Structure 1
Amino acid sequence: MSSDGSPLDVAGISSPSAPGLSETGAPPAFDFSLLLESQFVLVIVSALGIIWLGAHGSLRRPPSAAPAKLKKGEKRRDEEKFVEGLAASDAIRFPIMLAVVLVSLYYLLQWLEDPAILNRILRGYMGIMAIAGLGELTGDALDNLASLIFPAVWADGTGQVYRIDPDRRCQYVIDRETGEKIAIKGRETPLPGRLASLAPSERSRRLLWNIRHLLNEEWTARILLRGVFSAKFNLRASGLLGFAMAAVAAMAYHWTGWDALSNLLSIAMCYASFMMISPTSFGIGTMVLASLFVYDVAMVFYTPYMITVAKNIDAPIKLVFTGSKGVSMLGLGDIVVPGMLMALALRFDLFQHYQKQAKLEPVQLTTEMTSETSPGVTNITTTTTTQHRRIKAPYVDTRGQWGNRFWTTPVGRLLPVPEASEAIAATAFPKPYFYASLVGYAAGMLVTLTVMLMYRHGQPALLYLVPGVTGSLWLTGLRRGELKDMWGYTEDGSLDTEDVVVEVDGEGKVVKQRVEDGLKEEKKESGEGKAETETPGNDGDGEQKRAEKEVSSCELFVFSVTVPPPAEPAA
């Protein structure tokens, strides 16, 4: 946080000639009402809002949840697979890479003497890079908007839960005693509650079902340039529309340079960073933040590089807010760096939620021991013990669940009705670690602003944000007695075991677990293993050959988008 506006800092009040000290050498008096200035409030609210969105957007199936059962012919979505995140070596590599980039920009500016040339290049480059992030952000926002209009479940004023079946094109309730699905006559519409009155005719209802189908189903796009290139990928209507809107916004920013568009692209880049970058464990995340903490302090206090580059670079690498006290700038690094660990905390909360939903099923384990009592005589001793197999709860995708939560939450309540299990599992799970990190981040921002305004001198924001976020998380683990669980949690895939046999004590608590290799049948039966082990390169070669056979010899270029056909209502 700096009055000079570095990319990793916030700009506020200009530094006086004798910054930070009064004539007596004591710190100057500070008016805390300055923190209520609109520009500083926007800085804190914007940072917290972006982190909240990015953390929830990064949610995926935790290792403690079982993959959702697939329909016939359906493939596992890529975002459910665990990918490699930051490693311990990144704690050294990141500061070095950032320092090299910063110093290079500093001397490039000195050589060019005119920053306008570099700014045009960076604005064009960053605008193109932001299109992907803004497309994803806009697509996810459109998905949530569509879920508010076409939810999968809703509840009336009495708490009765209605579920919407797109295959049968009806709404039904579940009998609490028999578990039977009972279709509700007169509700052959995809709209919930009072919105159902907007589709009185059969024709209008059919149109709404088709619109719901187009918005919710994945499209398949295929591009073929004969003998040169072939690709096949899945997309959604929201993603396609979001990408188009992102391209328009990026071009408008390139030509106008408006701060509002720059802020929008900066938000999108932060959101995309949460999707792509994540520490694999709390230990690694803390190490990375600690190394960037040292980097930020060194570059702001002991070198001219950060301040000089920040003064001259005009690109979507920061949020800019104008107020009565000047221009405030919040750099993306102050959001993404601590936000990565905060997003991990939210996924850890989800991991714990599903871990508590797991059930223990008794299983008999047989052990055979061979012993030779005399020459030529062998005895076989069979021992049978009762252990417990941990059965994971199936994962509920968070996408589109915010609409379900809205329509199943009665007026005046914060949580959905108990029968809306999907909305509760996806959005209303306990979040103690994530909320603690939000409090720590907000406290760090307030301290940074206070020190900056009090001493009228730029402050490296990570100097206060890193202790605030890491301290709040580890103190929460200490208070809850879960430090061992925090330290052992990892997203490198090692915890994503399918069949685990555990030993429990007299109180039913797990004291030991081990994986049984012979209990992995679900994946073999579903055929998922083969689909997931195929590499994109090998599949691409086969796809190109298949695609070339499907087109006639005169077609050199093919671009097609197909949508699964909508289900017809049952007779």
Structure 2
Amino acid sequence: MASNDSALLAASEMSATNMTESLLANQTLAEQLSALPALLWDNRGFFLLECRIIFTAMACIYIGSHAALRRPPSANPPKRGKKGGPREKRDEEDQFVQGLLPSDAIVFPIMAGVMLMGLYYLIKWLEDPDILNKILKVYFSAMSLASMGKLFADSLHFLTGFVFPTVWTSRDGKLYHVDPLRKGQWRNADDSEGQVYDDKKKTPLPGWLSEWSLSDASNKFLWEVRHSLLEQWTVRFSVHGIVNETLKVKFNDILGVVLAVGANVLYYTTESTFLSNVMGYAFSYAGIILLSPTTFATGTAVLFGLFFYDIYMVFYTPYMVTVATKLDVPIKLVFEGPTKASMLGLGDIVLPGIFVGLCLRFDHYMHYYRQRKLVPVELKSEDESSGQLVSSTKTQRMVVKPDYVSPQGQWGDWFWNMGLLGGKLSPDATPALKASAFPKTYFYTAMFGYLLAMIMTLAMLLVYRHAQPALLYLVPGVVFAVWLAGLVRGEIREMWAYTEDGGLDTADTIVEVDGNGNVIDVVKDKEDDKKDGKKHELQIKLDANRAKHTASKIDLLEEIEVLERKAADGKEKRYPVFLFSIEAPAPSATSD
């Protein structure tokens, strides 16, 4: 449900509205058009209120979609590096998401309808919804800790990137790199590939703040703050026999959890609409990150299933409007103006948002897909059909995918290099900054469709003075815009084949190509047949070796236990029953 403005109007405003509508009904089309500017001016408070709704919804989708970026299947994982290198971040880049199935197009509307009807009749039975509101407040307070912690932590990371970027561009176009080891800033030399350190830039701050005259102690403090915010901390939690976890996080992640706990306590003890909106915003943000339509076909089917559900529940039943207005819990965003109030259901953000996020990840996929290379390889095959072993060599093409570079955490670097509106990216920019500048055609198309659909929703709200099912306008606006863009660009086939179920995440494969270099089909290696024929034999050998190594491992563990007992020298052996610790990164040292 998009909004329920008319239900919240005062009696005097309702009378004035009805009078205006009756006057407009008796006017000709020309007279109505001439009176339109005055009508818009009289409702300027309403438009400002609805602009806040549109901006908030689009900001959540925009930021959440970028936070949901991960390694696309068209790119290879980062190469193995040293400890703390790119390889250790692979689990985060390939984070698990809950993928939707085609059957969810039927299951989701049914489940949503049952839940909505249950809440409606429960409110009618209780007569006073205060008891239900208190129960749901406790439930949402507990369930929102993770989503609010994620929202607050990412917001702090966002701000940290603006204060402490890794690179920034000066007014004369020179790109400066912040070096935490030497506690200085350098740029590439004009006449060589060397690095030139600027003695005037002693702080880790960008722009004119880089030459800020501070004492040595103050400069050292700023560098240590930067080090503490950007380096990883270690959180250990252990309960004997139950859990033993070690997490690598950053300070902002820890502070985000603390802020989430405080916000939940305040929300439960107060009637703050602002905190309720923050909690609802966090739910929407986490939903866009964790949910995936899996494919464009599944996403389209699910959205249109909920499209019909939203129309029926708003126009033909009292369930949606009653539940949204009676429950004071974070299932909606409420915006209050001087005389009016309006609301936006979280489903109108999350459901189109996960489809928009899919579009951004598809843009990411196509960016690496276009960089793949077809490398010629020699394939040898053997033929025994004639009774003699005949070997032949055939040249095929192997698809080699580019290595992945994570674009996450580049907001600050982007701002200090490109500005608010964006500009020309420096050739000396970091690989991560270049990776974040991939084309976002489908994403911007979906966002534009969402904007037009929201404007249409609010226009219908103003005309009919009745709650409007936002998905009635949002689903066609977003879905049709994206499919139309694919049709115009000639990439419908790629859109239809794209999936996030892991099926496309394969190693470099051998393919057949036509005369124009286009991939026709994937070539199955004939050696696979021989491998399948020997599978049973290899499995038997593997089981035997595994049993042998298991016995050896048991003997080795017994020897280690004996050595540990001897090393203890009679001292009492201890183990943690309960442990919770937070370890900060070691202070940074200045490199020679």
TM range (shorter): 0.7 to 0.9
Structure-1 residue corresponding to 2:332: 318
Structure 1 pair 487–314 and aligned structure 2 pair: CA distance change class (3 A): same
Q: RCO (CA 8 Å, sep 6+): is it higher in 1 or 2?
A: 1
2:233 corresponds, among 210, 214, 219, to 219
Q: Report the Cα offset of residue 330 of structure 1.
A: 0.8
Q: Report the Cα offset of residue 274 of structure 1.
A: 1.1
Matched, 1:45 2:55: yes
1:394 corresponds, among 398, 404, 411, to 404
Q: Report the Cα offset of residue 199 of structure 1.
A: 6.5
Deviations, residues 495-539 of structure 1 (Å, cap 9, x unaligned): 122323344445444444458799xxxxxxxxxxxxxxxxxxxxx
Structure-1 residue corresponding to 2:460: 451
Matched, 1:378 2:391: no
Structure 1 pair 221–410 and aligned structure 2 pair: CA distance change class (3 A): closer
Structure-1 residue corresponding to 2:549: none
Q: Report the Cα offset of residue 104 of structure 1.
A: 1.2
CA distance in 1, matches of 2:377, 2:357: 40
Structure 1 pair 305–263 and aligned structure 2 pair: CA distance change class (3 A): same
Check whether the contact 2:78–2:90 (CA below 8 A) recurs between aligned residues: no
**SS of corresponding position for 2:236:** strand
Structure 2 residue identity aligned to 1:367: K
CA distance in 2, matches of 1:329, 1:500: 51
Structure-2 residue corresponding to 1:543: none
**SS of corresponding position for 1:367:** strand
Q: What's the Cα RMSD here?
A: 3.5
Matched, 1:347 2:361: yes
Deviations, residues 272-321 of structure 1 (Å, cap 9, x unaligned): 11121121111111111011111111111222222222231111111111
Structure 1 pair 339–411 and aligned structure 2 pair: CA distance change class (3 A): closer
Q: Report the Cα offset of residue 365 of structure 1.
A: 2.1
Which one has a bigger Cα radius of gyration? 2
CA distance in 1, matches of 2:124, 2:479: 37
Structure-2 residue corresponding to 1:521: none
Q: Report the Cα offset of residue 122 of structure 1.
A: 1.3
Structure 2 stretches lacking a partner, 5+ long: 528-560, 562-567
Check whether the contact 1:139–1:242 (CA below 8 A) recurs between aligned residues: yes
Structure-1 residue corresponding to 2:582: 561
Structure-2 residue corresponding to 1:95: 109
Structure-2 residue corresponding to 1:522: none
**SS of corresponding position for 2:89:** coil
How does 1:133-532 map onto structure 2 within 5 Å? 133-167=147-181, 169-174=183-188, 180=193, 182-184=195-197, 186=199, 189-198=203-212, 200=214, 202-324=216-338, 326-360=340-374, 362-371=375-384, 373=386, 378-399=388-409, 401-409=410-418, 414-422=423-431, 424-513=433-522
The count of aligned residue pairs is 534
**SS of corresponding position for 2:507:** coil
CA distance in 2, matches of 1:508, 1:554: 63
Q: Report the Cα offset of residue 124 of structure 1.
A: 2.4
TM-score by length of 2: 0.81
Q: Report the Cα offset of residue 158 of structure 1.
A: 3.3
Matched, 1:68 2:78: yes
**SS of corresponding position for 1:76:** helix
CA distance in 1, matches of 2:60, 2:245: 33
Structure 1 residue identity aligned to 2:298: I
Check whether the contact 2:74–2:368 (CA below 8 A) recurs between aligned residues: yes
Structure 1 residue identity aligned to 2:145: I
Check whether the contact 2:75–2:401 (CA below 8 A) recurs between aligned residues: no
TM-score by length of 1: 0.83
**SS of corresponding position for 2:176:** strand
Check whether the contact 1:370–1:381 (CA below 8 A) recurs between aligned residues: yes
Deviations, residues 2-59 of structure 1 (Å, cap 9, x unaligned): 6647xxxx97758979999969999996745547621111121211111112111211
Structure showing the higher helix proportion among its residues: 2
Structure 1 pair 171–359 and aligned structure 2 pair: CA distance change class (3 A): farther
CA distance in 1, matches of 2:104, 2:338: 41
Identity %: 41
Structure 1 pair 413–560 and aligned structure 2 pair: CA distance change class (3 A): closer
CA distance in 1, matches of 2:55, 2:162: 25
Q: Report the Cα offset of residue 378 of structure 1.
A: 1.3
Structure 1 pair 112–517 and aligned structure 2 pair: CA distance change class (3 A): farther
Greater mean deviation of Cα atoms: 559-568 or 330-339: 559-568
CA distance in 2, matches of 1:76, 1:471: 36
Structure 1 pair 325–446 and aligned structure 2 pair: CA distance change class (3 A): farther
CA distance in 2, matches of 1:567, 1:358: 40
Structure 1 pair 42–113 and aligned structure 2 pair: CA distance change class (3 A): same
Check whether the contact 1:147–1:403 (CA below 8 A) recurs between aligned residues: yes
CA distance in 1, matches of 2:239, 2:371: 49
Structure 1 pair 511–319 and aligned structure 2 pair: CA distance change class (3 A): same
**SS of corresponding position for 2:459:** helix
Q: Report the Cα offset of residue 432 of structure 1.
A: 1.4
Check whether the contact 1:13–1:453 (CA below 8 A) recurs between aligned residues: no
CA distance in 2, matches of 1:46, 1:247: 23
Greater mean deviation of Cα atoms: 410-419 or 435-444: 410-419
Matched, 1:114 2:128: yes
CA distance in 1, matches of 2:7, 2:370: 45
CA distance in 1, matches of 2:194, 2:522: 38
Structure 1 pair 563–410 and aligned structure 2 pair: CA distance change class (3 A): same
